[in-house]
Amino acid sequence: DMELRELKVCLLGDTGVGKSSIVWRFVEDSFDPNINPTIGASFMTKTVQYQNELHRFLIWDTAGQERFRALAPMYYRGSAAAIIVYDITKEESFQTLKNWVKELRQHGPPNIVVAIAGNKCDLSDAREVSEKDAKDYADSIHAIFVETSAKNAININEVFLEISQRIPVVDASGASAGKGFKLRRDPSDSRRNCC
Amino acid sequence: MDPLEHAEAPHRRTREKGAENLKPGCWPPWSRFSSWLECVCVVTFDLELGQAIELVYPQDVKLTEKERTSICYMSFPDSYSGCLGDTQFSFRLRQSVGQKGSRFGPEDTYNRDAPVTLQREVAHYYGFVYFRQVKDVSVKRGYFQKSLVLVSRLPYVNLFHSLLQLIAPEYFEKLEPCLEAVCNEIDQWPSPVPGMTLNLPVMGVVMQVRIPTTNDKLGGSPLRQSQKENLLPAPMVLPTIHELDLFRCFQSLLIHIQMLWELMLLGEPVVIMAPSPTVSSETVLALVSSISPLKYCCDFRPYFTIHDSEFKEYTTRTQAPPNVILGVTNPFFIKTFQYWPHVIRLGELKMSGDLPKQLKVKKLAKLKTLDTKSGVYTAYKTFLHKDKALIKRLLKGIQRKRPSEAQCAILRRHLLELTQSFIIPLERYLASLMPLQKSVTPWKTPPQIRPFSQEEFMGTLEHAGPQLTSVLKGDWMGLYRRFFRSPNFDGWYRLRHKEMTQKLELLHLEVICEADLQLWLKDKSEVEIVDLVLKLREKLTKACRQQLPVKDEVLEKLECRIQMVIGSLPEDLQTVLLRH
């Protein structure tokens, strides 16, 4: 039997950097250039296999607009990972990202896995944030770092794969993290998943 | 259903049922929200205006002025209450005349599949209130007073109060954007479907609920949080969307359970006077649910105030008190209701030793002064003897510190068995009124259901009465006779009659399907054949409109047969019929 682990993940970052597009690329493998700004937050799930475990990502895609800023703690509370997104063509969005890192450090869950995604890497002509600067910053805070393109499906699955890798392993007794449970394949279980 | 069907290394895709991953914007805004709630409002106290709606979502919700006013008044404690802090309670209001009914028509599939007690209200709204009153020097009055109110046609009291517990404290801190976010999240919820277990994401938490269905085994165990200890972050599993803790609600009334059940069954006019809107509304809702699975068909108001639009109608002295149950808190009502036959005055819960003090039955004449003591003011004598063993068991349970859920389960089971013992003879008799299956023939309109005869029914009681399933002794016959005069009987009979008519219709369709059409067609004139085609078509449309549970194969077969009959006609008639 596989272990099923539910992992709460939230996406944070400035408005318009492509948080929802990243989620849509990951969950549905689709892209819509005219996506509406998120209100509050959207919730989606996707299950992937990682080694001998199933990781069910419970993804909270938060709104980037300033007026929703105060709501963020509800979404990163209890999260196993946070993906902080910036737009490589907007220096300002990288500064916002640093503020999110600070906030998570002060108020976020103690062992939260942080991933930094420099989105819109297909627009490298308009680049304002150098890959090296971003990578150095990410390394300095021990965060996952990737440049992504939700539009061209670059590195999207990789972000989540790296999160899977960094999630603490459940030891043999299952006692340590306590985050997994046996995936049973009885009817009641399949019913749980179909709604 | 192998989750690894589309495996690809190293992060393999698995199949995910798509329902919760619908892209926002794939459905009209507010459409999913409206399958749960009519609206969410914030009611505040304005020094000049009194109570006023400060905020409402959806902003274009269609509420009449009267409805708005009612919501405002009923969202605040009626009389001065010293209770500082947070209070939750429920109310129910009648939809204004002329207001467009529910957008969910009478043939709503939800209402078809949900237990009658959980159906969507057609002419009423529920209000679920989270009221906060705290000292605030920055406000002129010295107090911050605000209510967050969920307005819905669904009686999901437990779900909506749990939801309020999650969202209201956050709202009071983070204000409008918070409510906007919550509404948007609710607009992503899957619609309630009886029998389904649903994940309802809100504010970073996933609530898990199961919507009961009419096919559920009664008295079965509710949803359990089985993997609680292993699941982090766990979904928040609600064991029930609508059931209240009956034991807690009836703590001071345990010795009167039999009377309460009979009063509810008979739809007697009852007033609950409670020290707070919370106690008032919980007691009324618990009472109404005590005759489940039977539907309480009279009006009930968990929290009724002098500002209610039905205040005059319900308190007029020119007519006998109406068949309603009202929950009130304002002591003013003692005078208003002193002529009502049953008034239950609840006080703060008192203990005698380690047992909750039980209210005494008192003479109605004593109900006059504002400082009236708590008690059950009635001259009502129960038809059945009370179940002393049950009362003893419950009281012992308190002393032995049996968990409240277990006490509640005992009480709920007792009430369920009582209601079922009462209703089974009625169901059995009603079934005998159904025409025999063999009397349903293809070429005649189905035979009629025989009319309900009270005397004939009484005659069945000797051999097939409630004594088969209940040990309770007493005047069951008298109870049935009174029940026949109550709106609850009327509601039950109408519903069953409708179901039987539909069943008959269904049988007829099936019989037609199996009939030898060729043989029938042989000696028929064109007129008769055309008439048959039109009749069959009408039957099919009716079956679809009423959403009769016709098997697909029956429908297909019937469709096929209609085509065959049309084919047997001359060509000009064929074209005419096919065009229609």
- In order, the DSSP letters of B86-149 are EEEEEEEEEPPTTS---SS-TT-HHHHHS-GGGPPPSSEEEEEEEEEEEE-TTSTTSEEEEEEE
Residue of B nearest to A69 (CA): B177
DSSP letter, residue B327: E
- Token pair, residue B542, equals 């009716």
**Contact A2/A47 with Cβ under 8 angstroms?**
no
Distances (CA, A) of A83 to A75, B133, B379: 12, 39, 68
B230 and A178: CB-CB below 8 Å? yes
Q: What φ, ψ does residue A86 adopt, rounded to 5°?
A: -130, 170
Q: Tell me which amino acid residue A116 is.
A: I
Answer yes or no: do A27 and B21 touch at CB < 8 A: yes
Q: What is the pLDDT of residue A186?
A: 37
Residue B500 or residue A171, greater confidence: B500
- State the nearest Cα–Cα gap between B226 and chain A, in angstroms: 11
- CB contacts, 8 Å: A175 with chain B: none
**Spatial contact of A52 and A84, defined as CB atoms under 8 Å apart:** no
Q: What is the pLDDT of residue B438?
A: 85
| C-beta separation of A177 from A109 below 8 A | no
Question: Looking at residue A176, what is its pLDDT?
Answer: 39
pLDDT at B442: 84
* Chain B contact for A15 (CB, 8 A cutoff): no
- B135 within 8 A of B172, measured Cβ to Cβ: no
Q: Which residues of B touch A195 (CB under 8 A)?
A: 17, 19-20, 190, 196-199
Interface list for chain B against chain A, based on CB atoms closer than 8 Å = 1, 3-4, 7, 10-14, 16-17, 19-21, 23-25, 170, 174, 177-178, 180-182, 184-185, 188, 190, 196-199, 201, 203-206, 208, 227, 229-233
Q: Which candidate from A24, A44, A71 shows the least CB-CB separation from B177?
A: A71
Q: Which chain B residue shows the shortest CA-CA distance from A80?
A: B233
Q: Can you tell me which residue has the tokens 């199961």?
A: B210
pTM: 0.88
Query: With a cut of 0.90, is the ipTM above it?
Result: no
Distance in Å from the first CA to the final CA of chain A:
23
Question: For residues A47 and A83, what is the distance between their CA atoms, to the nearest angstrom?
Answer: 17
Q: What is the three-class DSSP state of B210?
A: strand
- A111 contact B CB<8A: no
**Contacts of residue A77 in chain B, CB cutoff 8 Å?**
204
A-to-B residue pairs, Cβ atoms closer than 8 angstroms: 127
Mutation site for A-interface testing, chosen from B5, B13, B15, B21 by largest number of A Cβ within 10 Å: B21
Amino acid identity of residue A174, one-letter, is G
In the block, residue with structure tokens 């003879």: B425
- Each residue's pLDDT tens digit, A83-115: 999 999 999 999 999 999 999 999 999 999 999
- In chain A, residues with a C-beta closer than 8 Å to the C-beta of B11 are 48-50, 157, 160-161, 164
Q: Compare CB distances from A67 to B23, B170, B177 and report the shortest one's residue.
A: B177
What pLDDT, on a 0 to 100 scale, did the predictor assign at position B220? Answer: 57
Distance from CA of A66 to the nearest CA of B (A): 10
Positions in chain B short of pLDDT 50: 1-10, 12-20, 225-232
Nearest CA in chain A to B183: A40
Tens digit of pLDDT for each residue in B249-264?
A: 999 999 999 999 999 9
| Residue in A8, A41, A47 closest to B181 by CB | A41
From B203's Cα to the closest Cα of chain A, the distance in A is 6
Q: Give me the residue from B170, B180, B206 closest to A39, CB to CB.
A: B180
Instruction: Give the model's pLDDT for residue B6.
Output: 40
| 8 Å CB contact of B21 and A45 | yes
Task: Closest CB to A68: pick one of B17, B181, B204.
Answer: B181
Nearest chain B Cα distance for residue A128, angstroms: 31
DSSP labels, B216-263: SPTT------TTTTT-TTPPEE-S-SS---HHHHTGGGGGGHHHHHHH
Residues 6+ away with beta carbon under 8 Å from B239 = B222, B223, B224, B225
